[in-house]
Copies of this chain bind each other. A is one copy, B any other.
Amino acid sequence: MTKTLADLYQGYIGCLNSQDWGNLENYVGTEVAYNGRMVGLDAYRQAREREFREIPDLHFDVRILVSDEKTVASRLEFEISPSGEFLGLPVNGKRVKFSENVFYEYEGGKIVRIWSVLDKAAIEAQLSRS
């Protein structure tokens, strides 16, 4: 049975959450681009590995998932404690809650283009209250 993009995407999220880096190439194309900039699989993997080092409690939680035959749209929720700066903000271990709304364009069953927006304003609001 052919997997839907929603199935493939849930596999990708499971791969990230289990830090199963050897399997990332099964979900992400070698020529992956992020917000219009060519990144490539190796650099993309390194960036995700670095995030897990800098955010020990990092976990991707899919709250809304919409897909058609070539694109997945996902609203991810995070409740995490980045150890130092995050998005240029001095989070320094504080627990922050925010969302990411993100589109993933697929080709040949793999993610080739990612269009992400992170809710930096929500984090700023939480830091200003502390």
**Nearest B-chain residue to A71, judged by Cβ:** B66
Asked whether any CB of chain B lies closer than 8 Å to the CB of A27, the reply is no
Whether A117 contacts B115 in the complex (CB less than 8 A), given A67-B68, A71-B64, A102-B101, comes out as no
Residue interface mask A65-104, B partner, CB < 8 A = 1: 0111001110100000000000110000000000111110
Please pick, from B73, B87, B99, B120, the residue contacting A73 in the complex, using a CB distance under 8 A.
B73
Interface of A is mostly: strand
Query: Size of chain A's interface in residues, with CB distance under 8 A?
Result: 23
Contact B75 A66 (CB under 8 A): no
- Please, which residues of chain B bring their CB within 8 A of the CB of A67? 66, 68
Closest-by-CB residue of B relative to A70 is B66
